Amino acid sequence: SFLYLLQSQPTISGTDLRSLLQGVCLGRMLVMTLYNLFLYFSLRDRAYLLYVGTAFFGIFSALALRGLSGDWFWPSYPHLDKVLYITWGCLSMFCSSRFAAIFLHLKENHPRLNQLMWWIAGASMVLAVLSLFISFEMIAPFGRALVLLSFPTYIIAGLEAYRKGFKPALFYVIAWIPYALGLKVRVLHGLEW
């Protein structure tokens, strides 16, 4: 009878486990977003607000990618997820490029890298606006190219800032490497590699 009980217990399917893991990741991102928003209100440091924007728009991009934001926020318009996936992602890249520039003090110490971060921010905003008017199939290659350029640039900027003596840049690099690798894998998956 003990074996019968073990066999009759419900198991977590692969889909349920994947949903659980996605929920844990999104929950952790939400907690980090709220924590950094609290830090911004406490310290009034603009870098924290830009980090909040990075995480907030990153959460919505992840939800749109999985079709969940349509289920939760605009159930009458499920097709919006495909449109907004690029929009949210580009807004996240805008915030992340400005966060990198401000946190790493690029304007004062690395003007060329600061200009590159402004270029990434500008390209991100242009793509965010265009994504509302151009089909996903047409805009996605440009978004993917921007991701493949941007995130290695963030890491290089962090390493350069660390090399020039800004010690917190090491923690910045350590924190961005897994995020950048995850985005790279996601982009390559989107390219069916």
Show pLDDT as tens, one digit a residue, over the chain (193 residues).
444 444 444 555 556 777 788 778 888 888 988 999 999 999 999 999 999 999 999 888 888 887 777 777 787 877 788 888 899 999 999 999 999 999 999 999 999 999 999 999 999 999 999 999 999 889 989 988 998 889 889 999 999 999 999 999 999 999 999 888 887 787 777 777 7
SS3 state at 167? coil
* Closest by CA position to 93, among listed 64, 129, 63, 53: 53
Helix residue spans in 44-110 (DSSP H): 46-65, 68-72, 80-103, 106-109
Under 8 Å CB-to-CB from 123, ≥6 apart: which residues?
146
pTM (whole model) above 0.85 = no
pLDDT at 185: 81
Question: In the structure encoding, which two tokens stand for residue 69, read together?
Answer: 């934001």
Nearest to 80 by CA among 93, 65, 91: 65
Cα distance between residue 75 and residue 72, in whole Å: 6
What's the pLDDT at 1?
43
